Amino acid sequence: MPALPRSTPESQGIASTAVADFVAALQSTAHDIHSLMLVRHGSVVAEGWWHPYREDRPHSLFSISKSFTSTAVGLAVADGLLSLDDSVVSLLPGDAPAVVGDNLAAMTVRDLLTMSTGHAADTLEAIDRGDDDNWARAILAEPVVHTPGTVFVYNSGATYLLSAILQRLTGERLLDYLTPRLFAPLGITGASWETCPRGIDVGGWGLALTTEDVAAFGQLYLQRGEWNGAQLVPADWVAAATSAQVPNGDPTVPDDWTQGYGYQFWRSQHGAYRADGAFGQLCFVLQEQDAVLMLTSGLTEALPALTALWEHLLPALGTDRLPEDEDAQRALLATLEHLELPHPVGGTASVPAVADRVAGVRFRLPANDAGLESITVDHSADPVELRITTVDGETAIRCGRGEWVEGAAPFFGGGIMRSDSTPLVPVAASAAWIDETTWRARVQYSSTPFALEFSLRYGDGDVAVHVTQSVSFGSTELAEVTGRAA
């Protein structure tokens, strides 16, 4: 993990009280922030992880991955492997359709980078329609309805094509290409990247890094690609990648999605830019203020976090140094050291009588989107144990009462990312009796934005089970079924 220097907020020109106000705003409006790191003048001045998230555990970054893919393209351009004006079909000749239309023939690497490929919509759905495991072939077979370079359409399939191109040119995975050129010099270890069935890193998503790893990446870009005296990324690439290369709306509107799009970076308000991933994975580079802010989250929408940044933090970044305020620093540190996600809140202080009657009873469930076949809660165990059976077998998850109990579990249903190579992932669970018949557990997948909530209302020989997912690309409602005692 990178070892960015640490400093007090005041010594870098930020009042500790302003940082505390920012954290309070996140707590009250954004609700599901997992970590934050604020860097000013190259030093970390505030950092925190909402338990059960941890500083040493990589977090799924979703489309922040795109900015790393862009960086790899910039390095490959500097290495002379390709140019931005190379046509896509010339770089992936084996994946092009039999008949190449004029628009597809005109599509270039630059168009992939700027999300202006000419497609009418994201091409990811083409992958599911493909008749084999060749994602590039399926994407390139999609109709190119606009002249490339003229219309911005957010397109994760375009970033996958960049990864496929780089793997064909370098003979190695994107992750392996970046390791000696970017990750190792920054001190990043343990990076992982999801691959397609053909072993190509998916490019547009799937990268997992720690909060400080991404903060260091943001600081590298703030320093125009220079790190410890070495130019890791060409300065002209940094400038071009983070500039508005294509319009994506009216830039006069005070909105962070209309300020222009670069090479897999978003322009933001107030002269800033960002690497941006679904559910609130956000790395802001505030050039004029010489600051980097990194957040990991599980947000349904990012606006509350952005509002907190612009209203509480930005106004505090106006000077280079302030008098030390030890009382405020101690208060801020205490806040940051005791961050924690909320637990299920019980409406009853004691364990109700129904707990003994249903402890260990297995309830069979009808078909549901979560793929759950049966559910059991052993209320006599300490901590309470939630046991879930699917077609793949049974999983036991220990649930604390007023505390998070860590363990491991597979992903269940709902479009959460799956990986055959890592069927068990870190989780932490907490539960409470909501009333005399209802028990609720939250299972936090603590290396991702996702959490599942299991609500069980016990009846006479049955249980009403409601399972929801905190965030999702589809429905967050996974199951609402009644189970019968086996």
Asked, for residue 38, whether it belongs to a domain, the answer is yes
Asked, for residue 98, whether it belongs to a domain, the answer is no
Q: Is residue 47 within 8 Å of residue 38, measured between CB atoms? A: yes
Give the number of residues written for the chain.
Answer: 486
- The model's confidence at residue 417, banded by pLDDT at 50, 70 and 90, is very low
| 287 and 362, same domain (yes or no) | no
Asked, for residue 17, whether it belongs to a domain, the answer is yes
- The model's confidence at residue 264, banded by pLDDT at 50, 70 and 90, is very high
Query: What is the pLDDT at residue 345?
Result: 87
| 288 and 358, same domain (yes or no) | no
Query: What is the pLDDT at residue 14?
Result: 97
Q: Show which of 337, 371, 403 is a domain's final residue.
A: 337
| Encoded amino acid at 322, one letter | L
Q: Pull the structure tokens for residue 420.
A: 């055959």
Q: What is the mean pLDDT of residues 204-233?
A: 98
Q: Which residues share a beta bridge with 358?
A: none
Q: Show which of 337, 364, 397 is a domain's final residue.
A: 337
Element (H, E) at 111: helix 109-113
Q: What is the mean pLDDT of residues 45-61?
A: 98
Number of domains, the chain: 2
Structural domain boundaries enclosing 444? 354-485
Task: Name every residue whose Cβ is closer than 8 Å to that of residue 34 and which is 6 or more positions away in sequence.
Answer: 49, 50, 53, 59, 295, 296, 297, 298, 341, 449
pLDDT at 419 over 70: no
| 217 and 322, same domain (yes or no) | yes
| 302 and 397, same domain (yes or no) | no
Q: Show which of 337, 368, 385 is a domain's final residue.
A: 337
User: Above pLDDT 70, what percent of the chain?
Assistant: 98
- Tell which residue, 166, 106, 111, has the closest CA to residue 136: 166
Q: Is residue 155 within 8 Å of residue 123, measured between CB atoms? A: yes
pLDDT, tens digit, 9 for 90 and up, residues 65-81: 999 999 999 999 999 99
| 310 and 388, same domain (yes or no) | no
What CATH number did the domain enclosing 329 receive? 3.40.710.10
| 323 and 401, same domain (yes or no) | no
Asked, for residue 430, whether it belongs to a domain, the answer is yes
Asked, for residue 71, whether it belongs to a domain, the answer is no
Task: Name every residue whose Cβ is closer than 8 Å to that of residue 323 and which is 6 or more positions away in sequence.
Answer: 10
pLDDT, tens digit, 9 for 90 and up, residues 159-177: 999 999 999 999 999 999 9
Element (H, E) at 439: strand 438-445
pLDDT, averaged across the chain: 95
- The model's confidence at residue 420, banded by pLDDT at 50, 70 and 90, is very low
What CATH number did the domain enclosing 398 receive? 2.40.128.20
Sign of CA dihedral 467, 469, 472, 477: positive
- The model's confidence at residue 413, banded by pLDDT at 50, 70 and 90, is low
| 288 and 238, same domain (yes or no) | yes
DSSP assignments along 309-333, one per residue: IIIIIGGG---S-----HHHHHHHH
Look at the block and give the residue holding tokens 């977090």: 59
Q: Is residue 142 within 8 Å of residue 125, measured between CB atoms? A: no
Q: Pull the structure tokens for residue 424.
A: 């068990």
Asked, for residue 179, whether it belongs to a domain, the answer is no
| 279 and 384, same domain (yes or no) | no
DSSP assignments along 132-190, one per residue: SS-HHHHHHTS---S-TTS-----HHHHHHHHHHHHHHHSS-HHHHHIIIIIHHHT--S
| 395 and 478, same domain (yes or no) | yes
| 407 and 313, same domain (yes or no) | no
| 220 and 316, same domain (yes or no) | yes
- CA 22 – CA 182 distance, rounded (Å): 31
| 326 and 221, same domain (yes or no) | yes
Asked, for residue 153, whether it belongs to a domain, the answer is no
Sign of CA dihedral 199, 105, 243, 276: negative
Q: What is the mean pLDDT of residues 461-479?
A: 94
Residue 256 burial class via C-beta count within 10 angstroms: exposed 0-12, middle 13-18, buried 19 and up = buried
Q: Is residue 54 within 8 Å of residue 64, measured between CB atoms? A: no
Asked, for residue 230, whether it belongs to a domain, the answer is yes
Query: What is the pLDDT at residue 414?
Result: 55
